[in-house]
Amino acid sequence: MENSITFKDIKRGNYSSIYHLIYQNQKLSKQEIANQLNLSLPTVTQNLVRLEKEKLIEKSGQFESSVGRRATAYAICPQARISIGIEIQKRTVQIIAIDLRGHAFQHQRLAMDYSNVERYYKELSYAVQSFITSLHVEEDQILGIGFAVQGLTSNDGEKITYGKILIPTGLEIGVFTQFLHYPCRFLHDAKCAATTELWVRNDIGDAVYLSIGPHLGGAIIINDQIYMGKQGHSGTIEHMTINPNGPSCYCGKKGCMETYSSINALLDEDESLDFFFQQVRMGIPSYAERWNSFLDQLAFSINNIHLVLNREFILGGHLSPYLIEEDIDILHEKINEKSAFPSSEPFIHISRSSVNGVPVGAAIPFIQSFLNSI
């Protein structure tokens, strides 16, 4: 039979099951692995030897025991494989290295003004290579490099399909791969932030993720996966029209959600989030009024989206570290005032991911692919 399971398939399945079981736990003994997977000790031993030889796992001390010999503890080698995430912004670049658990263990921030010229791509590529060299790892440990950009990308990450803020439409990943000999991909920065959110929490299911940074971005999460849509622009709530006669948006239209619910819409020129929220929390009237107006506009948009997608909302991006539960309570109140279906259950939550959620999220897909391949 063509679809029959072979002995080779079974062996491969045991190898994968043992690795993933160890991955899901901090440490396990040989006997615990055999018991949980219902495998014989010789089978477990054979696979542990192979995984250890391939440097995917390591012996990590021994378990305490009141009788007999203490059992050896096995754990994964987090840095057996590494992924690099890069966030390109107008004046800066962030580079992060993450391990197989998604933990960032090396970070660098560069002052680099973006310019769509070969010199920029070459200098950034050399800076990335220098960063990788400083990690003192073998070349085959590097799974890939993800470039988070302010623009929409093709599903394969090879091309910018819509770029009006910074990176131009049509730019191909070859501008980097001609200098960097690793798998490279472009990824939408808001989708990267949502990817990190999915990684750090397992209770999302379905949700709308709003990345509120200098520019606004969004992502739709369905069944713990980011839904890209037919043409890859699902979740781009930033260009939902709030007021057709409103402020001009960078997309060329007027009154997009971007022009009301981004940090650029909130702050005055040369004003920082730190300063703004110091004034807000001190109760300075003019700042408190601006913040209340911002929340009112955000509530208006969330209510409209919530009527279409009756799901949880997660507020992330540069704004999220400044949010407090009182802000979320006010948002719920404002939405319930506007909604035809007021909700007694809270459905808006503050992001749990780190401030470096974008570059971390750019690196995670390579980790996920590797783990899926084992």
Phi/psi for 145 (5° steps) reads -130, 125
pLDDT digits 0-9 by tens, 168-192? 999 999 999 999 999 999 999 999 9
Q: Assign domain 80-193+357-373 to its CATH architecture.
A: 2-Layer Sandwich (3.30)
For residue 32, the model assigns a pLDDT of: 94
Tokens of 64: 């305490």
What residues does CATH 3.30.420.40 cover in the chain? Answer: 80-193+357-373, 202-350
Q: What is the per-residue burial (b if ≥16 Cβ within 10 Å, else e) of 191-213?
A: bbbbbbbbbeeeebeebbbbbbb
For residue 66, the model assigns a pLDDT of: 57
Residue 114 near residue 88 (C-beta atoms within 8 A): yes
Phi/psi for 306 (5° steps) reads -65, -30
For residue 225, the model assigns a pLDDT of: 86
For residue 1, the model assigns a pLDDT of: 38
What share of residues in the chain are helix, strand, coil (percent, to 5)? 40, 20, 35
Given this structure, which CATH class describes domain 7-76? mainly alpha
pLDDT digits 0-9 by tens, 125-155? 999 999 999 999 999 999 999 999 998 999 8
Query: Which listed CATH number (3.20.20.70, 3.10.180.10, 2.40.10.350, 3.30.420.40) goes with 202-350?
Result: 3.30.420.40
pTM above 0.85, yes or no: yes
Q: How far is it, in rounded angstroms, from Cα 226 to Cα 222?
A: 6
Tokens of 288: 């408190």
For residue 204, the model assigns a pLDDT of: 80
Q: Which residues in the chain show pLDDT less than 50?
A: 1-2
For residue 292, the model assigns a pLDDT of: 97
Q: How far is it, in rounded angstroms, from Cα 188 to Cα 358?
A: 9
